[in-house]
Amino acid sequence: MTLKQTLLDGALKFIARFHPEIGPVVSFAIEHEADIGRIMPIIVAAAEEGGSAYVAAEKAAPKLAGAIRDFVHAYPSTAPTHAAAVRTVKVNTENATRDVFGLSHMTAEEEAHWMSSTDSDSRTGSG
């Protein structure tokens, strides 16, 4: 393990200690680093093609996707309506998945397009 990897693993473990809700994501990432590297092209391709990084992760690494979903759900939404809260959770789950795989967050335009295409898809992290 390189010094950089050792420091990153240590930093992640430190964060997980003080924020236990992120613990499952950190543990999975550290324990399955090789698997994440193997599935990363699948996740990146899905996002770049306008699809859901979360749904691709759910298919390729269900435990990781579940840990990401649970992490996002650990923080209550401050959205003013139930519909807005569901939308916020979906977008946050997608963007958190993109974070894990080193992708940029969706722009407002991408979010609007993505949400309109996922409104009928229950697998986008809302539930």
pLDDT digits (tens, 9 = 90+) for 26-54: 888 888 888 888 899 999 999 999 889 99
**Is 126 part of any domain?**
no
Residue 115 main-chain phi, psi, to 5 deg: -65, -40
Residue 51: how many other CB atoms lie within 10 Å? 15
Total structural domains in the chain?
Answer: 1
Structural domain containing residue 111: 3-118
**Is 127 part of any domain?**
no
Positive/negative CA dihedral, 96, 98, 103, 108? negative
Say how far apart CA 119 and CA 124 lie, in whole Å: 9
Predicted confidence (pLDDT) at residue 127 exceeds the cutoff of 60: no
Residues 6+ apart with CB under 8 A from 25: 64, 67, 68, 71, 100
The reported pTM is 0.77
